[in-house]
Amino acid sequence: MKLISAWFSFSAAFLTLTAFASDYPVTPVPFTAVRVTGGFWQPRQEINRTVTVPFALRQLEDSKRLKNFDLAAETMRRRAAGEPTFQNMPVTIFPFDDSDVYKVIEGASYSLSTHADPALEKQLDEMIVRVAAAQEPDGYLYTFRTMHPDSPAHEWMDQKRWLKDPELSHELYNLGHLYEAGVAHFQATGKRNLLEICTRSAELLWQTFGSGEFKIAPGHEVVEMGLAKLYRVTGDERYLKLARIFLEARGPGGPDYNQRHLRVVDQTTAVGHAVRANYLYAGMADVAALTGDAHYVAAISKIWENMAGRKLYLTGSVGARADGEAYGADYELPADGYNETCAAIALMMWNQRMFLLTGDARYVDVLERSCFNGVISGVSLSGDHFFYTNPCVYDGSKKNNSGFAGRVPWFGCACCPPNEMRTLAALTGYFYAIKDDALYVNFYAQSEGEVTLAGTSVKIAQTTEYPWSGKIKIAVTPATPKHFSVRLRIPSWAQGRPLATDLYGYDDPSPTAWSVKVAGAAVPAELDRGYVTITREWRAGDTVELNLPMPVRTVHGNAQIAATRDRIAFERGPMVYCVEAVKREFVPENLSVAAQARVTAEFRPELLGGVTVLSIDGGPERGLITAIPYYSWNNRGLAPMAVWLKRPVVSVSTSGR
């Protein structure tokens, strides 16, 4: 099934006829080849590894998610030993609770890939034994059914396997996460114990769905991405075929809640449950890359235009509606929107794949926006409290976080914490990518990496305080002098606009005076799809100096967004700011910022783990108003917060480093 194919352009993003074989035309540099060495991400990754990973593992026991596997195994054991009516009831709430176990194993495996830890490896092996024991002899794995086979243990299930998957049973959803975990664990440890559970399960999927006679459209997508990963790691083409079969089973005529309203190739807008939707679009990208299906690329490109042009929050979050955890209508972006953490993470996955299909930085601009704002807001600075929802305004008391006020340790529906954990553990996988003899530099971060370019091993070391400063030095050190290209992403915010669409704009849209030098000599500031390309013979000692000035920008929303009318938000670099009234001394959303307010930016090492704050001159009555990066809110107790403040602001003069 490894087709050699071509696709024609369907939108501005696909202007060229591009031939590619077997996978994405742009190849991501794996997270294992890049190491954070300081700066913004180091404490986050360290807390993720040392606090969040063990915390989540503990939660799997404490919340009894692992117990469900033991109960399923017990039912099989006792029935086989002569108790034909024995069965157990689940001890957790949702049939998709198995997926949290898999996501935690996945995140922990990423952590193992970068930091050897025999105790953690042993703990995972022990968990995998419990997972294996819950798998039925034919490969079926779904604890809620196996522990209670005589009647459905939950109203979301049918008495027969799979039949209610298009609605809510989540049988295939769980498996998607299982496959992602199995691949991650195999890649981290070289062990096949979890991978073999996956292939036994996928074999059953093939026997059940491979002929195409029995059609099921997964009610919650993710199995498509999981199967694509399983295909890549095993080379078994049936898994890729299955991914395609599941995609082709969608629509027309179903609900748009889970994207079954139309055939996937006919879908043009981002609709329905936002996590489901973004996982679907990411899965379509994978299958498009692996099969060369141009129609999938055309569909997700159109859907992307709709999402980024009408449905994206400034914070890089999506999914405005609590009802159905869903995308809203065009421009339906209320400040108190739902914005599930998983939806923003899934958006990162989808945007990364759009970039890998096209080499266009517009997708990385969205990815960066999500990452620095609506994704990392999902976890506390301490690493053990989480947001499920990420609104742009908060009244200081509402129980809007899955029934809680403020971040909490865990949820009954706990999809977000392990999603956050696996994302942070493998974050450096977003930093670089390669096409032919060109290296794309997508993330700026204090880090070291090693890649192969033009047949030579090349060390890449970044020195920077990004995102607090736009000064970046990149030492490029090939093992031997070599001719290749380095493509530096010039973020859209540096070009004078938040995004490639007109959903948001800067009051002052002038591009910053960004500049690039190599070995001290200026590089022409010419952009191609968001990148400045430096092609030369590189030799050890070559250093690129990128300067991305970071003025404070005031942002306005498109006139069609009711919630942002007569309001402004503040950004600096990739960070969206918010005002938090820690002492409840005012209501942030009612703050009116004086016209021509002066704003200064200052790095405060002692505050919130070290952040650059903005001091906004609020006029004689209000004095200085402090704005903090959005992601860092709710780390000083429960307090009201707002991203969008009231106008009028005619102009803002800025200073700061």
Task: Give the angle subtended at the CA of 43 by the CAs of 40 and 45, to the nearest 5°.
Answer: 95
Q: How far apart, in whole angstroms, are the C-alpha atoms of residue 176 and residue 275?
A: 14
Q: How far apart, in whole angstroms, are the C-alpha atoms of residue 404 and residue 396?
A: 12
Q: How far apart, in whole angstroms, are the C-alpha atoms of residue 411 and residue 341?
A: 13
Q: In terms of CB distance, is 340 or 617 closer to ligand FUB? A: 340
Which of Zn ion, ligand FUB, none has residue 148 at its interface (CB below 5 to 8 Å by kind)? Answer: none
The residue of the chain with the least Cβ separation from ligand FUB equals 275
The residue of the chain with the least Cβ separation from Zn ion equals 342
Q: In terms of CB distance, is 349 or 416 closer to Zn ion? A: 416
Question: Which residues face 394 on adjacent strands?
Answer: 641
Count of residues that bind Zn ion according to CB under 5 A = 4
- Count of helix runs (H) and strand runs (E) in the chain: 16, 25
How far CA 540 is from CA of 7, 461, 465, 482, in Å, comes to 38, 12, 23, 10
Q: Shortest distance, CB of residue 539 to ligand FUB, whole angstroms?
A: 49
Stretch that binds Zn ion, among 256-264, 312-320, 368-376, 415-423 (CB under 5 A): 415-423
Q: Choose, by CB under 6 A, the member of 163, 322, 405, 413 that binds ligand FUB.
A: 413
User: Tokens 């879908």 belong to which residue?
Assistant: 267
Which of ligand FUB, Zn ion, none has residue 368 at its interface (CB below 5 to 8 Å by kind)? Answer: none
Q: Shortest distance, CB of residue 343 to ligand FUB, whole angstroms?
A: 7
Which of Zn ion, ligand FUB, none has residue 413 at its interface (CB below 5 to 8 Å by kind)? Answer: ligand FUB
CB 168 within 8 A of CB 260: no
Task: Decide: is 325 part of the binding site for ligand FUB (CB under 6 A).
Answer: yes
Residues numbered 266 to 285 that lie near ligand FUB (CB under 6 A) are 275
Task: Decide: is 415 part of the binding site for Zn ion (CB under 5 A).
Answer: yes
Q: Choose, by CB under 6 A, the member of 60, 128, 333, 342 that binds ligand FUB.
A: 342
CB 209 within 8 A of CB 216: yes
Q: Are strands 482-489 and 438-441 parallel, antiparallel or unpaired?
A: parallel
Q: Name the nearest CA neighbour of 569 among 397, 286, 331, 316.
A: 316
Q: How far apart, in whole angstroms, are the C-alpha atoms of residue 349 and residue 330?
A: 22
Q: How far apart, in whole angstroms, are the C-alpha atoms of residue 131 and residue 142?
A: 10
Q: Are strands 432-435 and 438-441 parallel, antiparallel or unpaired?
A: antiparallel
Task: Decide: is 178 part of the binding site for ligand FUB (CB under 6 A).
Answer: no
CB 254 within 8 A of CB 166: yes
Q: Choose, by CB under 6 A, the member of 220, 321, 482, 487 that binds ligand FUB.
A: 220
Q: How far apart, in whole angstroms, are the C-alpha atoms of residue 260 and residue 257?
A: 8
Backbone angles phi, psi at 202, to 5 degrees: -70, -30
Q: In terms of CB distance, is 221 or 542 closer to ligand FUB? A: 221
Task: Decide: is 157 part of the binding site for ligand FUB (CB under 6 A).
Answer: no
Task: Decide: is 299 part of the binding site for Zn ion (CB under 5 A).
Answer: no
Task: Decide: is 421 part of the binding site for Zn ion (CB under 5 A).
Answer: no
CB 426 within 8 A of CB 41: no
Three-state DSSP class for 653? strand
Task: Decide: is 340 part of the binding site for ligand FUB (CB under 6 A).
Answer: yes
Residues numbered 329 to 348 that lie near Zn ion (CB under 5 A) are 340, 342
Task: Decide: is 134 part of the binding site for ligand FUB (CB under 6 A).
Answer: no
How far CA 214 is from CA of 45, 202, 369, in Å, comes to 44, 15, 41
Which of Zn ion, ligand FUB, none has residue 108 at its interface (CB below 5 to 8 Å by kind)? Answer: none
Q: Shortest distance, CB of residue 341 to Zn ion, whole angstroms?
A: 5
Q: How far apart, in whole angstroms, are the C-alpha atoms of residue 651 and residue 268?
A: 38
Q: In terms of CB distance, is 157 or 548 closer to ligand FUB? A: 157
Residues numbered 39 to 98 that lie near ligand FUB (CB under 6 A) are 96
Task: Give the angle subtended at the CA of 46 by the CAs of 40 and 47, to the nearest 5°.
Answer: 100
Q: Shortest distance, CB of residue 656 to Zn ion, whole angstroms?
A: 36
Which of Zn ion, ligand FUB, none has residue 132 at its interface (CB below 5 to 8 Å by kind)? Answer: none
Q: In terms of CB distance, is 342 or 371 closer to ligand FUB? A: 342
Task: Decide: is 415 part of the binding site for ligand FUB (CB under 6 A).
Answer: yes
Task: Decide: is 106 part of the binding site for ligand FUB (CB under 6 A).
Answer: no
Which of ligand FUB, Zn ion, none has residue 538 at its interface (CB below 5 to 8 Å by kind)? Answer: none
Which stretches of the chain bind ligand FUB, using CB under 6 A?
A: 96, 220, 275, 325, 340, 342, 413, 415
Which stretches of the chain bind Zn ion, using CB under 5 A?
A: 340, 342, 415-416
